[in-house]
Amino acid sequence: MANDVLDSDAAGSDNPAPQKRAGRRPGRPSGAHGEQARTQLLAIALEMFARQGIGETTLGAIAREAGVTPAMVHYYFKTRDQLLDVLIDERFVPLRAELARVFNDPHSEPVETLRAFVETLVATVDKYPWFAALWVREMISEGGLLRQRMAERFGDAHKDRAVERIAGWQKEGKLNPALEPSLVFASLFGLTVFPLATARGRGEGDRAVSAEQVARHVVALLMNGIRPY
């Protein structure tokens, strides 16, 4: 009956009802705002993942933090796993490649290479405030979802190549043979990322340590440890 009334009203009107515009799905942001909204949601997701963990962060919580409807978040990311895969592809894969790049030069010396790795790591933490906390929470913690997802998708190819490089330097007598190659990464990350992660949580009255100071400290601390006997 309601449809009959509406049809009757439309037929008797002097001004015909405007035609519906086609081509846009419900809930889809229009124009430049679409990409801006997606980028903003990714940024908010990273901040929340770093602050409270991936497992404790739902798409609904991200929507509330962003001040948008859950439908809008679901338009871009159907599930949290899909969102995590997008973050891996668009945020973590480029960072991973940049960190691995310093080991690609076959003629580089170990001290210079490890210094470049530390400096690149420090620059990454300095540029992306979420990186240090997220790494501590999701990459070294047992059961971290980001760690599991990265391992499932990419394995340890980048790390394995770097470990082989370190072992090669030891055979050439350029690196301390007492070092365990597979632990060098953990040592570098721990010495670099932990201080930066904790520095961001200090109060204003505490002495802040700059990224440059951390990089200099790590390289100085390692110098005697990485020299051959």
pTM here is: 0.73
pLDDT given for residue 225 in this prediction = 65
Q: Which residues of the chain have pLDDT under 70?
A: 1-33, 199-209, 211, 224-229
pLDDT given for residue 223 in this prediction = 72
- Tell me: the pLDDT tens digits for 113-172? 888 888 888 889 888 989 988 988 898 877 889 989 988 888 877 788 889 999 999 999
Question: Which three-class secondary structure state does DSSP give residue 127?
Answer: helix
pLDDT given for residue 115 in this prediction = 86
> Are the beta carbons of 103 and 169 closer than 8 angstroms?
no
CA–CA gap between residue 193 and residue 132 (Å, rounded): 6
Question: Which three-class secondary structure state does DSSP give residue 67?
Answer: coil
CA–CA gap between residue 91 and residue 36 (Å, rounded): 16
> Are the beta carbons of 217 and 192 closer than 8 angstroms?
no
For residue 185, being part of any structural domain is answered with yes
CA–CA gap between residue 142 and residue 198 (Å, rounded): 20
DSSP H stretches of helix in the chain: 2-12, 33-52, 59-66, 70-76, 80-87, 93-101, 110-127, 130-138, 145-154, 157-171, 181-199, 211-226
pLDDT given for residue 227 in this prediction = 64
With left for phi above 0 and alpha for psi between -120 and 50, is residue 128 left, alpha or beta? Answer: beta
> Are the beta carbons of 170 and 177 closer than 8 angstroms?
yes
For residue 92, being part of any structural domain is answered with yes
pLDDT given for residue 89 in this prediction = 95
Question: Which three-class secondary structure state does DSSP give residue 126?
Answer: helix
For residue 164, being part of any structural domain is answered with yes
pLDDT given for residue 229 in this prediction = 57
For residue 194, being part of any structural domain is answered with yes
For residue 51, being part of any structural domain is answered with no
Question: Which three-class secondary structure state does DSSP give residue 76?
Answer: helix
DSSP H stretches of helix in 53-92: 59-66, 70-76, 80-87
For residue 149, being part of any structural domain is answered with yes
pLDDT given for residue 228 in this prediction = 66
Containing structural domain, residue 151: 88-226
pLDDT given for residue 199 in this prediction = 66
- Token pair 């400096």 is found at 119
pLDDT given for residue 41 in this prediction = 95
For residue 23, being part of any structural domain is answered with no
pLDDT given for residue 27 in this prediction = 46
For residue 203, being part of any structural domain is answered with yes
Count of domains for the chain: 1
Nearest one of 203, 189, 207, 79 to 145, comparing CA atoms:
79
Q: CA dihedral defined by 69, 52, 183, 156, rounded to 10 degrees?
A: -20
pLDDT given for residue 197 in this prediction = 78
pLDDT given for residue 209 in this prediction = 67
For position 113, which CATH number holds? 1.10.357.10
